[in-house]
Structure 1
Amino acid sequence: MNSARQNPLGDQEPQGDIFMQSTFIRLAAAAMLSVSAGAVLAQDAPAPETVNITILAAGDMDSFDTGVDGPRGGFARLNALAKAERAANPNMLYLYSGDMISPSLLSGIDGGANTVVLTNLVPFDVAVPGNHEFDFGPEVFLERAGESVFPWTAVNISSPDGSPIKGLSTEPVIKEIAGVKVGIVPVATDETPELSSPGDYKFAPTVESAIAGADAVLEQGADIVIALVHASHPQDEAMYNSGKFDLILSGHDHDYRIHYNDIVGYVETSNDANLLTAIDLAITVTPENGDTKRSVTWRPNFRFIDTATVEPDPDTAAKIAEFQTQLDAELNVEIGTLSNEMSSVRAVVRGEESAWGNLITDGIKSATGADVAMYSGGGIRGDKVYPAGHVLTRKDVFTEMPFGNKVVLATVSGADLLLALENGFSQVEAGAGRFPQVSGIKVEADLTKAAGSRVTMVEVNGAPLDPAAMYKLATSHFQLNGGDGYTMLKNGETLVNESAGGLDASTVINYVTALGGTVDAKVEGRITLKR
């Protein structure tokens, strides 16, 4: 057997069915692990038993109605697939790797209650919270968790005083299936305080917490150890290389990936259940030396599933139709016609000036009387192209701005404004959501330079930025509170706070309506990047 550790984030392509074999010997009492090409059994050892377990994991369900008009994905197909897999094999684990309460269009209105209704129809065995679970604050997450008929668990989240969090377990999970003990270590991303709004909750380091959780389930006699994580690719890689896990099931990056190196398997599903992987484990357990030692041999089959082949679950589809009817009645109101093509494609709003970014920042700047406006590209979520001539509706705007952020106003120094721009351009290569869409600002940045030293020119309303001057900045309350790394904005004086600020989507709708029917937003050279 090849025991070399390989990079799970390399050029591995989805391979459909993959059959390989790993052998593990675990000591139940001492939690010791060794790996060999085959288990050598005494002649009088009990006959081995093979248990077949299917694992289906999903994550990053960003929209309640994905797949209704498209060829694949969505809750209706996901629920149908989960039902079918459980019917085919009752020894099935159904897991969720985070992000569903937000950021769908409807979630911006009902705080994610719709997603709990849909997932309660076919409940998960375990779900780990993603960063978007906290977009509406910890209170709303706990409300949604309380409505869930499945458990939410993360070993690395704690309350400020260390007291238990009602509705969120912080212990790893042991599931015994036909005599096989499956240890599940659910871990949230430690970047949640920067990416979302979890209040005072503490997030211990993701990788270290996962490893500690693996040790804990091994001490409890786990035969198979699974990391169920909402984590970045580098964190996935560190866990993969740790030697602590048999399977790593990850969400967060929206990339479909499968990798297996004869020892550990790594799977990340695409967002919105477009492409999924069912993992069939043939697990052979042979007792040795009484109950103190057992040989565990497992063979995985990774089944690639394009959900375009899955017929939507009718009960789920009916519930989604109810939600759509409610939304359409309120939001299918025309507000203006586009003069130009406008893109909200993820790579665009997170990597360059965009017409949508210009429209949004112009809108919040106008509404507040600010000198400048800044809005994280990661807050623009439609991921689509609107052609010139498209009739914009309220629904379009709420689709693009689903987080329910409030528009706030603060005075910030030119020095802090420069730091904010540096932060915004610091992770362009990673497609980070902090990319700054701007109004009242013209900026040039050299992405070949080190992060923190990339901005080469800034003008504010046609004049060079003065580090000593004070500027009125309109932005989202998320950014003003330090989200997406914008901690320097907290140095300013808040003039309009979250309580007094208007909803960002409503602010843009009012701005577009006031334009009188024509929306002329376009890319106009506000941001120039050297790559």
Structure 2
Amino acid sequence: MTKSFSFGLLTASMLALSTGAAFADYELNILHINDFHSRIESINKFDSTCSAEEEGKKECFGGAGRLKTAIDQRRQALSGKNVLLLNAGDNFQGSLFYTTYKGAAEAEFLNLMKFDAMTVGNHEFDDSEDGLATFLDKVQFPVVTANVKATAASKLRDRIKPSLVLDVAGQKIGIVGAVTNDTPELSSPGPNVTIADDVQSITAAVQDLKGQGVNKIIALTHVGYPRDLALIAKIPDVDVVVGGHSHSLLSNTDPKAEGPYPTMVDNPGGYKVPVVQAASYSKYLGDLVINFDDSGVVKDAKGDPILIDSTFTPDPAVLARVTELAKPIEDLRKKVIGSSESPIEGDRKVCRVKECSMGNLVADAMLDRTRNQGVAIAVQNGGGLRASIDGGEVTQGEVITVLPFQNTLATFEATGADVVKALENGVSQIDQGAGRFPQVAGLKFSFDQSKPVGSRVSDVQVKEGDSFTPIDPAKTYKVATNNFMRSGGDGYSIFKDGKNAYDYGPDLADVTAEYVAAHSPYKPYTDGRVTELAQAAPAPSASEPAPTAPAAPAPSVEPSPAPAAPAPSTGPAPAPAAPAPAAPAPATSAPATEPAPAPAASAPAATTPSTHVIAAGDTFWDLAVTFYGDGTMWRKLSDANGKPNPRRLSVGKEIEVPAK
């Protein structure tokens, strides 16, 4: 198989066929990832960096080493066939590798994987066009995004083309890229870069490709699964959509999937377009097989994403290089970002039952970061605060210990009535030491534990200027929280229905560290923003469990054991930047649904609670692992709760948890 690429031009290796000659059906295998988010080290079930202990237990997923192995193995299995490897953007942001190397490490490992094409994601602009321009200097594959319009003064200039043509075994494959229209609001492209309308830009680029005689066109997008379904797949002459941005897991076997893989969409041209996406964080490798007819129309599409679990041994050379690059990161963890005049209280015995100074710090930081977007209210779950910070110097590592889950800043719109409902949820399980207790900024409220659940909250007031006014149930407020809560975690199901939601802001640890640095020496405080009116039963001790762990998405499939075999490697490290605070299955159709990442199952418990409130993404298997330490005991939970459909557990429903 020969392969070459050209931007906006016909490839030199066109088949010289006589007019009217017929082609046989053409099979194309598309491997793809999206939303890598700097997960260079392997991740655990909470999507944060996997520990040595978890590696030893074979509980880790993804990472550059495993991803390289998975790609190599799949290419080997497809030897002699037509294969493309595509990247749907957001390789930046999400770990200390990005904080340290600012894209150089990501570029190095992506080059080793030999991608054929990439579109930019909104996070590629997080360090303005400068960061992206440096990344483009390093990558050895083409980057295409039709709606990125750079001026002559931009460092990007014309380096990001609307489309390209790949020659794959004599067939011309067109690739058109696009990034979300919201990029200027979500990131920092700067004054020399305009983000044009994605649909109009793709449409124009597709017609240009058609004019060049290309009849097999892939839209490589970073606009999100709902928009891919509703608009991109319906653009004339688009044949396949490989997407990103919404972190959507599509699957034919996983009950947590947002839709089937591929999801088939009816194009107005009278044909069906397969739409795919492969979750995020290097956890999955998309594996799609397309059959085209003579005219370039998709006859058949099938596949399923491959879960990159511990059965994949990390590539030894990559693993050694990751270890080498990780050394300066330890220095970053030790970096002093500021100081605190006194200890910042983050103990679970406090933050899960009442206002605490760590809760105020994190909520204030979220509100400060998003205030220029019109956000008025911030809510952080107390269970997401995992440690206190001593008085004196504050290090980046200490902040990461407080907020270790790599949860991201999320924003959305909600009515005042929905905000009150969310607060009611937050104070509904104080007696159980649940992690849902709301630490807030921009508002204050009172609660009474002696009253029934659902009617405990009163006197909710929102800060307007220098004063507080009663919350207006009918008014729409902009709210900041973390992506775990926004997706319904800790019982905040009301947040799942938020309008104009965006879940992929910066890491909360970075947001908090930057806030401490800007307000150093920081003075911890509580100010009565949360007031308890009546004292109920005493709160549980720290040894008692929280129903849910405030973390990012949990794995959808139990990992299978396989040994990892690291080996030494050589190569110079990129200079650190200045520190700153599965078998194919037939395709089926599915309706477009609003995506939301599924939060993780409950945190490990020292004792078994009697009840649990279902959070988005919970499964009986995961809950059995949490409460009993054994997923095979899931039937005990099922039997105790009337044997509900395990694929349709109702978020917010309280279930019985029988003793082991």
SS in 1 for 2:217: strand
Q: CA RMSD in A?
A: 5.1
Asked if 1:322 is matched to 2:324, the reply is yes
Asked if 1:260 is matched to 2:264, the reply is yes
Give the aligned partner of residue 212 of structure 1.
Answer: 204
Asked if 1:61 is matched to 2:36, the reply is yes
Distance change (3 Å), C-alpha of 1:363 and 1:279: closer
After the TM superposition, which residues 412-427 of structure 1 pair with which residues of structure 2 at under 5 Å, given as runs? 425=414
Give unpaired runs (5+ residues) of structure 2: 1-9, 11-19, 44-48, 51-58, 251-260, 266-270, 337-342, 420-437, 447-459, 471-479, 481-498, 501-509, 533-651, 653-660
The Cα of 1:232 is off from its aligned counterpart by 2.9
Moved more, 504-513 or 107-116: 504-513
Q: In 2, Cα distance between the equivalents of 1:152 and 1:138?
A: 14
Q: In 2, Cα distance between the equivalents of 1:522 and 1:256?
A: 42
SS in 2 for 1:251: coil
Match of 1:52 among 15, 27, 52: 27
Give the aligned partner of residue 629 of structure 2.
Answer: none
Give the aligned partner of residue 247 of structure 1.
Answer: 240
Q: For the Cα contact (< 8 Å) 2:376–2:463, is it kept in 1?
A: no
SS in 1 for 2:31: strand
Asked if 1:306 is matched to 2:281, the reply is no
Q: Kindly provide the CA deviation profile for residues 205-262 of structure 1, in whole angstroms up to 9, marking residues without a partner as x.
A: 0122122222222222223211100003442121123343221111001111221257
Asked if 1:459 is matched to 2:497, the reply is no
Asked if 1:141 is matched to 2:143, the reply is no
The Cα of 1:402 is off from its aligned counterpart by 12
Asked if 1:98 is matched to 2:100, the reply is no
Give the aligned partner of residue 452 of structure 1.
Answer: none
Letter in 2 for 1:85: R
Q: In 1, Cα distance between the equivalents of 2:68 and 2:527?
A: 40
Letter in 2 for 1:204: A
Letter in 2 for 1:141: L
Give the aligned partner of residue 275 of structure 1.
Answer: 284
Q: Kindly provide the CA deviation profile for residues 416-437 of structure 1, in whole angstroms up to 9, marking residues without a partner as x.
A: xxxxxx98658999xxxxxx99
Letter in 1 for 2:304: R
Q: In 1, Cα distance between the equivalents of 2:106 and 2:528?
A: 34
Q: Kindly provide the CA deviation profile for residues 53-105 of structure 1, in whole angstroms up to 9, marking residues without a partner as x.
A: 21111111123324362522222222222222222335211111110122433
Q: Kindly provide the CA deviation profile for residues 467-503 of structure 1, in whole angstroms up to 9, marking residues without a partner as x.
A: xxxxxxxx9xxxxxxxx99xxxxxxxxxxxxxxxx99
Match of 1:80 among 48, 63, 69: 69
Distance change (3 Å), C-alpha of 1:238 and 1:503: closer
Q: In 2, Cα distance between the equivalents of 1:57 and 1:354?
A: 44
The Cα of 1:374 is off from its aligned counterpart by 9.6
Q: For the Cα contact (< 8 Å) 1:159–1:202, is it kept in 2?
A: yes
TM-score where L is the length of structure 2: 0.50
Q: In 2, Cα distance between the equivalents of 1:104 and 1:275?
A: 18
Q: In 1, Cα distance between the equivalents of 2:24 and 2:350?
A: 59
After the TM superposition, which residues 66-465 of structure 1 pair with which residues of structure 2 at under 5 Å, given as runs? 66-67=42-43, 69=50, 70-89=59-78, 91-160=82-151, 165-166=156-157, 168-200=159-191, 201-236=193-228, 237-257=230-250, 258=261, 259-260=263-264, 263-283=272-292, 285=294, 298-308=299-309, 309-331=311-333, 338-340=346-348, 358-362=360-364, 385-387=384-386, 394-395=396-397, 397=399, 425=414, 439=441, 441-442=443-444, 457-459=461-463, 463-464=467-468
The Cα of 1:364 is off from its aligned counterpart by 9.4
Q: In 2, Cα distance between the equivalents of 1:72 and 1:111?
A: 23
Q: In 2, Cα distance between the equivalents of 1:311 and 1:378?
A: 45
Q: For the Cα contact (< 8 Å) 1:401–1:505, is it kept in 2?
A: no
Q: In 1, Cα distance between the equivalents of 2:30 and 2:74?
A: 9
The Cα of 1:388 is off from its aligned counterpart by 5.9
Distance change (3 Å), C-alpha of 1:520 and 1:84: farther
Q: In 1, Cα distance between the equivalents of 2:373 and 2:153?
A: 36
Q: For the Cα contact (< 8 Å) 1:128–1:153, is it kept in 2?
A: yes
Q: In 2, Cα distance between the equivalents of 1:508 and 1:178?
A: 56
Q: For the Cα contact (< 8 Å) 1:61–1:74, is it kept in 2?
A: no
Q: For the Cα contact (< 8 Å) 2:42–2:62, is it kept in 1?
A: yes
SS in 2 for 1:71: coil
Q: In 2, Cα distance between the equivalents of 1:381 and 1:99?
A: 25
Moved more, 115-124 or 325-334: 325-334
TM-score where L is the length of structure 1: 0.61
Q: Kindly provide the CA deviation profile for residues 138-183 of structure 1, in whole angstroms up to 9, marking residues without a partner as x.
A: 1121111111112221111112459893473223111121122111
Distance change (3 Å), C-alpha of 1:162 and 1:440: closer
The Cα of 1:123 is off from its aligned counterpart by 2.7
Letter in 1 for 2:243: S
Q: For the Cα contact (< 8 Å) 2:117–2:142, is it kept in 1?
A: yes
Q: In 2, Cα distance between the equivalents of 1:198 and 1:507?
A: 23
Letter in 2 for 1:319: R
Give unpaired runs (5+ residues) of structure 1: 1-28, 30-44, 286-293, 344-352, 404-421, 430-435, 445-455, 467-474, 476-483, 486-501
Letter in 2 for 1:397: V
Q: For the Cα contact (< 8 Å) 1:172–1:213, is it kept in 2?
A: yes
Percent of residue pairs identical = 23
Distance change (3 Å), C-alpha of 1:377 and 1:229: farther
Q: Kindly provide the CA deviation profile for residues 179-200 of structure 1, in whole angstroms up to 9, marking residues without a partner as x.
A: 2211111111111001100002
Q: Kindly provide the CA deviation profile for residues 246-300 of structure 1, in whole angstroms up to 9, marking residues without a partner as x.
A: 2111100111122125721011110112233201224454xxxxxxxx5766432
Moved more, 322-331 or 334-343: 334-343
SS in 1 for 2:348: coil
The Cα of 1:524 is off from its aligned counterpart by 3.8
Q: In 1, Cα distance between the equivalents of 2:413 and 2:67?
A: 35
Q: In 2, Cα distance between the equivalents of 1:129 and 1:253?
A: 14
